[in-house]
Amino acid sequence: MSWNLASRLEADDFQLKRGLAEMLRGGVIMDVTDAGQARIAEAAGAVAVMALERIPADIRRDGGVARMSDPALIQSIQQAVSIPVMAKCRIGHFAEAQILQALAVDFIDESEVLTPADEEHHIHKWDFSIPFVCGATDLGEALRRIGEGAALIRTKGEAGSGNIVEAVRHLRRIHTQMRELTQLDPGQLMSRAKTLGAPYELVCYVAEQGELPVPNFSAGGVATPADAALVRQLGAEAVFVGSGIFRSEDPAERAAAIVRAATHFDDPAVLAEVSHGLKGAMPGLELGELPDAQRLAKRGW
């Protein structure tokens, strides 16, 4: 095991992990709960699907412990589509991640949507050959996950809420904190690493490059084409849509519309066209009424 983070980020295995994340840029990754939904997502232009037993809105409604999906479900989705298939494991549950790797999923989401298995430790992701995506609410959290080997960062947002406000908060915060780093002189970076709680080498990387060393996507609360365009304009390179598609009244049309919105995010004429005449979006939650204990974004650190 090397202590040199820079050399690890340049090693072949990490290049392959980050490479797949980069190929997803500009796209939409959709939550699906069966092979039929996966085929609808692929036909609508999804760049990948997230295979899970229940969409976040239902996990939120049902309560109880949410775990990795049944391998039979994941395999049926792998057989149904030709695009990458992702699956979620619980935060810190490396045994679930080992199972997902054995199933040859293309990406593992160490996700706050499931019930955390370890409140102190996230998975040591360098141990795996499959790339990981992890959620973050600020720059320090993003860099800690990359330090553990994540090849892709997404905002946490507030999954299953249909409310974009938290994803916007997280995106703005991460980008503001990155811009601030680029203004500091080198002598200030160790101090900033301390306040961010982030690996010093990665703080130096962001200060020099002005961006994360891996792609940065958005997740949590996307329900409309306009939501996708908003997070793209705020700097998200691609969009995860969880409950927003298959909880709506018109999944196939809405999925295709969100795909086009993610591509033409800065062209309001196209956004108006694709938003036209869609049926009801998922109902959504007013987050001011949601107690802290039910906020998924607070899981993990």
Q: Which residues are annotated as a binding site for D-ribose 5-phosphate?
A: 31, 160, 221, 242-243
Q: Which residues are annotated as a binding site for D-glyceraldehyde 3-phosphate?
A: 172
Answer for the pair 81, 60: CB distance below 8 angstroms, yes or no. no
48-51: strand order across its sheet: 216-217, 152-155, 132-136, 107-111, 85-90, 48-51, 28-32, 239-241
- 84/157 with CB nearer another protein: 84
- 60/88 with CB nearer another protein: 88
- 80/167 with CB nearer another protein: 80
Please, how many CA atoms are within 13 Å of residue 164, restricted to the half-sphere of its CB? 21
Q: Could you tell me the smallest distance in angstroms from the CB atom of residue 101 to another protein?
A: 7
Q: Could you tell me the smallest distance in angstroms from the CB atom of residue 9 to another protein?
A: 13
Q: How far apart (Å, rounded) are the C-alpha atoms in residues 248 and 245? A: 5
Q: How far apart (Å, rounded) are the C-alpha atoms in residues 100 and 89? A: 8
Q: Could you tell me the smallest distance in angstroms from the CB atom of residue 24 to another protein?
A: 7
- 13/34 with CB nearer another protein: 13
- 16/272 with CB nearer another protein: 16
DSSP string computed for 83-126? S-EEEEEETT-HHHHHHHHHTT-SEEEEETTSPPS-SS----GG
Phi, psi of 12 (to 5 degrees): -55, -45
Answer for the pair 138, 156: CB distance below 8 angstroms, yes or no. no
* CA neighbor of 71 nearest in space, from 84, 85, 58, 81: 85
Q: Could you tell me the smallest distance in angstroms from the CB atom of residue 17 to another protein?
A: 8
* CA neighbor of 88 nearest in space, from 129, 31, 137, 128: 31
- 84/147 with CB nearer another protein: 84
Which of 17, 88, 125, 156 is catalytic? The answer is 88
Q: Could you tell me the smallest distance in angstroms from the CB atom of residue 20 to another protein?
A: 5
Let me know if 88 is a catalytic residue.
yes
Q: How far apart (Å, rounded) are the C-alpha atoms in residues 283 and 73? A: 27
Q: Which two tokens stand for residue 177?
A: 């904190």
Sites of contact with another protein (CB under 8 A): 12, 15-16, 19-20, 22-27, 42-43, 45-48, 78, 82-85, 101, 104-107, 129-131, 237, 259-260, 262-264, 266-267
Partners of 155 in the beta sheet?
136
R_g over Cα of the chain: 18
Q: Which residues are annotated as a binding site?
A: 31, 160, 172, 221, 242-243
Q: How far apart (Å, rounded) are the C-alpha atoms in residues 274 and 254? A: 9
Q: Could you tell me the smallest distance in angstroms from the CB atom of residue 5 to another protein?
A: 19
Which residues are tagged catalytic? 88
